[in-house]
Protein backbone atom coordinates (compact mmCIF):
# COMPACT_ATOMS: atom_id res chain seq x y z
CA UNK A 1 0.00 0.00 0.00
CA UNK A 2 1.49 3.37 -0.96
CA UNK A 3 2.17 5.66 1.97
CA UNK A 4 3.66 9.09 2.53
CA UNK A 5 5.14 10.46 5.74
CA UNK A 6 5.96 14.14 6.16
CA UNK A 7 8.22 15.72 8.74
CA UNK A 8 9.94 19.00 9.43
CA UNK A 9 7.07 21.23 10.44
CA UNK A 10 7.96 23.66 13.21
CA UNK A 11 7.50 27.12 14.70
CA UNK A 12 9.55 29.67 12.75
CA UNK A 13 9.83 33.44 12.88
CA UNK A 14 8.69 35.60 9.97
CA UNK A 15 11.47 35.78 7.43
CA UNK A 16 12.87 32.45 8.55
CA UNK A 17 13.45 29.20 6.67
CA UNK A 18 12.32 25.64 7.04
CA UNK A 19 12.69 22.39 5.13
CA UNK A 20 9.90 19.84 4.96
CA UNK A 21 10.57 16.21 4.03
CA UNK A 22 8.28 13.50 2.76
CA UNK A 23 9.25 9.85 2.48
CA UNK A 24 7.29 7.56 0.20
CA UNK A 25 6.91 3.80 0.57
CA UNK A 26 4.94 1.02 -1.04
CA UNK A 27 5.35 2.31 -4.61
CA UNK A 28 8.09 3.08 -7.16
CA UNK A 29 8.76 6.62 -6.01
CA UNK A 30 10.81 7.72 -9.02
CA UNK A 31 7.92 7.05 -11.41
CA UNK A 32 5.53 9.58 -9.88
CA UNK A 33 5.07 13.32 -9.85
CA UNK A 34 4.95 14.54 -6.26
CA UNK A 35 3.06 17.57 -4.97
CA UNK A 36 2.76 19.74 -1.89
CA UNK A 37 -0.66 21.06 -0.86
CA UNK A 38 -1.38 23.23 2.16
CA UNK A 39 -4.38 24.06 4.30
CA UNK A 40 -4.20 27.29 6.29
CA UNK A 41 -6.33 27.60 9.43
CA UNK A 42 -9.94 28.19 8.45
CA UNK A 43 -9.10 28.10 4.74
CA UNK A 44 -9.42 25.60 1.92
CA UNK A 45 -6.87 23.48 0.13
CA UNK A 46 -4.16 25.27 -1.85
CA UNK A 47 -1.79 23.56 -4.26
CA UNK A 48 1.77 24.74 -3.54
CA UNK A 49 4.22 22.92 -5.78
CA UNK A 50 4.83 19.97 -8.11
CA UNK A 51 7.98 18.10 -9.08
CA UNK A 52 7.75 15.79 -12.05
CA UNK A 53 9.06 12.26 -12.15
CA UNK A 54 11.44 12.02 -15.07
CA UNK A 55 13.02 15.34 -15.84
CA UNK A 56 12.14 16.71 -12.41
CA UNK A 57 10.53 19.83 -13.80
CA UNK A 58 9.15 21.98 -11.02
CA UNK A 59 6.10 24.23 -10.72
CA UNK A 60 4.96 26.64 -8.04
CA UNK A 61 1.91 28.59 -6.98
CA UNK A 62 2.36 32.33 -7.47
CA UNK A 63 2.05 32.80 -3.70
CA UNK A 64 5.30 30.90 -3.06
CA UNK A 65 7.26 31.36 -6.28
CA UNK A 66 10.76 32.62 -5.63
CA UNK A 67 10.60 31.67 -1.94
CA UNK A 68 9.95 27.91 -1.97
CA UNK A 69 12.01 25.23 -3.73
CA UNK A 70 10.92 21.64 -4.29
CA UNK A 71 13.49 18.90 -4.85
CA UNK A 72 13.53 15.14 -4.78
CA UNK A 73 15.94 12.33 -3.96
CA UNK A 74 14.70 9.26 -5.79
CA UNK A 75 17.34 7.04 -4.24
CA UNK A 76 15.98 7.93 -0.82
CA UNK A 77 12.30 8.01 -1.89
CA UNK A 78 12.09 11.54 -0.52
CA UNK A 79 10.70 14.86 -1.69
CA UNK A 80 11.63 18.11 0.01
CA UNK A 81 10.07 21.53 0.24
CA UNK A 82 12.57 24.23 1.20
CA UNK A 83 10.80 27.35 2.37
CA UNK A 84 12.54 30.70 2.66
CA UNK A 85 11.32 34.17 3.64
CA UNK A 86 8.39 32.68 5.47
CA UNK A 87 5.36 34.88 6.06
CA UNK A 88 2.40 34.69 8.39
CA UNK A 89 0.25 33.64 5.45
CA UNK A 90 2.43 30.55 4.93
CA UNK A 91 1.25 29.16 8.25
CA UNK A 92 -0.60 25.95 7.42
CA UNK A 93 -0.63 22.21 7.50
CA UNK A 94 1.43 20.99 4.56
CA UNK A 95 0.51 17.74 2.85
CA UNK A 96 2.71 15.67 0.57
CA UNK A 97 0.72 13.97 -2.18
CA UNK A 98 1.43 11.53 -4.97
CA UNK A 99 -0.05 12.33 -8.37
CA UNK A 100 -1.40 9.37 -10.32
CA UNK A 101 -1.84 9.77 -14.09
CA UNK A 102 -4.38 7.95 -16.20
CA UNK A 103 -5.73 8.13 -19.73
CA UNK A 104 -8.36 10.74 -18.96
CA UNK A 105 -6.96 12.63 -16.03
CA UNK A 106 -4.63 12.74 -13.09
CA UNK A 107 -5.43 12.71 -9.40
CA UNK A 108 -3.87 13.02 -5.96
CA UNK A 109 -3.60 9.80 -3.98
CA UNK A 110 -2.45 9.01 -1.37
CA UNK A 111 -1.98 12.00 0.91
CA UNK A 112 0.41 12.11 3.82
CA UNK A 113 -0.89 12.94 7.28
CA UNK A 114 0.51 16.47 7.04
CA UNK A 115 3.06 18.53 8.95
CA UNK A 116 2.30 21.86 10.60
CA UNK A 117 4.22 25.04 9.90
CA UNK A 118 3.65 27.90 12.32
CA UNK A 119 5.03 31.33 11.44
CA UNK A 120 5.07 33.67 14.42
CA UNK A 121 7.41 35.89 16.36
Partner 1 sequence: DIQVTQSPSSLSASVGDRVSITCRASQSIGTYLNWYQKKSGKAPKLLIYSASRLQTGVPSRFRGSGSETTFTLTISSLQLEDFATYYCQQTYSLPPLTFGGGTHVEIK
Q: How far apart are CA 9 and CA 21, in angstroms?
A: 9
If one asks whether residue 41 binds partner 1 (CB under 8 A), the answer comes out as no
Would you say 46 or 84 has its CB closer to partner 1? 46
If one asks whether residue 88 binds partner 1 (CB under 8 A), the answer comes out as no
- Choose the stretch contacting partner 1; rule: CB under 8 A; options: 24-32, 43-51, 68-76, 84-92: 43-51
If one asks whether residue 10 binds partner 1 (CB under 8 A), the answer comes out as no
Cβ neighbors of 79 (< 8 A, separation 6 or more) are 21, 22, 24, 34, 36, 51, 70, 71, 72, 73, 96
Q: How far apart are CA 111 and CA 37, in angstroms?
A: 9
Task: Tell which phi-psi region holds residue 57, choosing left (phi > 0), alpha (psi between -120 and 50) or beta.
Answer: beta
Options 1, 54, 62, 75; binder of partner 1; rule CB under 8 A: 62
Q: How far is the CB of 29 from partner 1 (least distance, A)?
A: 19
Which positions touch partner 1 (CB under 8 A)?
35, 37, 39, 44-47, 50, 59-62, 95, 99-100, 102, 104-114
Amino acid sequence: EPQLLESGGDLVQPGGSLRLSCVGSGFTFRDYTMNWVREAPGKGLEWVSSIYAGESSTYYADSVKGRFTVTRDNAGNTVYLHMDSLRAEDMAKYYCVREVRGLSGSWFDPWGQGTVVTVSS
